[in-house]
Amino acid sequence: MNDSPSGASLVMFRLGQFILACYVAVSFLGYALPDESEVKKLVIFFYVVCFIWVLIAMILKCVARDSPLRRKIVAVWLCMYMISALWVNATEPVLGMPTPWYTGTLLLIWINTFLLAYIDEMPPRVRELLALVLGLTAWVPLYLVIYLSPVYVLGIIFFWLFGLPLMAFVPLLLSYYNWRIIRYSIWKDNNCRMAFMSGAGLSLVTIIGFCGYYASVKYSIERLYQRNNSPEAVAAGISPGFMEDYVLKQGGVYAMPLYSPIVTMKGDDEFFSSELRDKIHDPLLVAAVFFCGRSVIPLEQREEIADHLPDKDKRKKQPPFSPPVIVDTSHVNVSAPVSANQQ
């Protein structure tokens, strides 16, 4: 590999950084625009600009194996496509609306992807931090690879639509990018390797714990439902919580996996349904349903049970404990008044 980049590669890299900076600025300003059509125009404009930039970079061989700026140019390109994918899902939420923690994780992945291109040039502590974050978040692109696998064929068929359907392949490309970072940069450093494994282990424990808790709550609710089919009686035996809300509203409020070895696609293929746009997308819940299965209680019955649950916000709050007031009567004259007849 050449130590010094060519002039064309350097120009394309700087131009890509400038386009990415403008794209980020427009993305923040887009939330302040009241007209949604103007936001869509800006997104389409920058997506076309990014697409042309990528084509020119490939024609000039800026991402060839012997290019020293290959990793940095690819990181800029991935960041551009991730912004485009987030904007498309924000304006036309075909995958549902992400939960707050999922949105924060995607933002963290975006920042870490850009910084990982410079991991070999950073201090040891910063490299270890980037490796830790990669270990914590590497499962999200892998999850999206599995989640979007049913639409890969359509993405290839409609490739010529400015490459727009290829955004479904962004998680696959990001996973490949992460794998190369792990192989050629992180795994060679013992401290970075330990930081990455710590983050990956913590993520794995979190996913397993969430799936186990989901299975336990689902089993308890289904057991109550089998004993008495009355939604009121089932709701009376449930203690409201976030997992109970997940179990009762899955498939209604929350999006489900497109395919599961337990839940078949027959009758559950909702990817092309407009109703999916109004649902909330939580990867942890989708993973739990994928491995543990959906509740056997019909959706209508689960919604009726959820309606009979006591609302946490409307439940009457218990008044705070107030200790009894002790009145000092030692200085009070308790002698009875003397009547006139007694005098």
pLDDT in tens, 228-254: 777 888 888 888 888 988 888 888 788
Tokens read off for 329 = 């009567």
**In this structure, are residues 248 and 234 in contact, taking their beta carbons and an 8 Å threshold?**
no
Integer Cα distance of 289 and 291 in angstroms: 6
How much is the CA Rg of the chain, to the nearest whole Å? 29
* Mean pLDDT across 63-75: 89
pLDDT digits (tens, 9 = 90+) for 142-184: 998 888 877 777 666 665 555 555 677 888 899 999 999 999 9
Q: What is the pTM (predicted TM-score) of this model?
A: 0.80
pLDDT of residue 267: 40
Percentage of the chain exceeding pLDDT 90 = 34
157 vs 67, more confident: 67
Is residue 107 classed as helix, strand or coil in its secondary structure? helix
Name residue 281's amino acid. Answer: H
Is residue 4 classed as helix, strand or coil in its secondary structure? coil
Residue 129 confidence (pLDDT) above 90: yes
Alpha helices in 169-281 (DSSP H): 170-181, 190-227, 231-236, 242-249
Tokens 């794209």 found at? 23
Q: Name residues whose C-beta falls within 8 Å of residue 41's C-beta, 6 or more positions apart in sequence.
A: none
Q: Where are the domains of the chain?
A: 1-92, 207-308
pLDDT of residue 329: 54
* Range from 6-15, 211-220, 314-323 carrying the lowest mean pLDDT: 314-323
* Mean pLDDT across 210-223: 92
Q: What is the 3-state secondary structure (H, E, C) of 267-283?
A: CCCCCCCHHHHHCEECH
Beta bridge partners of 254: 250, 280
* Range from 54-68, 87-101, 222-236 carrying the lowest mean pLDDT: 87-101
Q: Name residues whose C-beta falls within 8 Å of residue 298's C-beta, 6 or more positions apart in sequence.
A: none
For the range 318-323, what are the long-range contacts, defined as Cβ-Cβ under 8 Å and sequence gap of 24 or more?
none
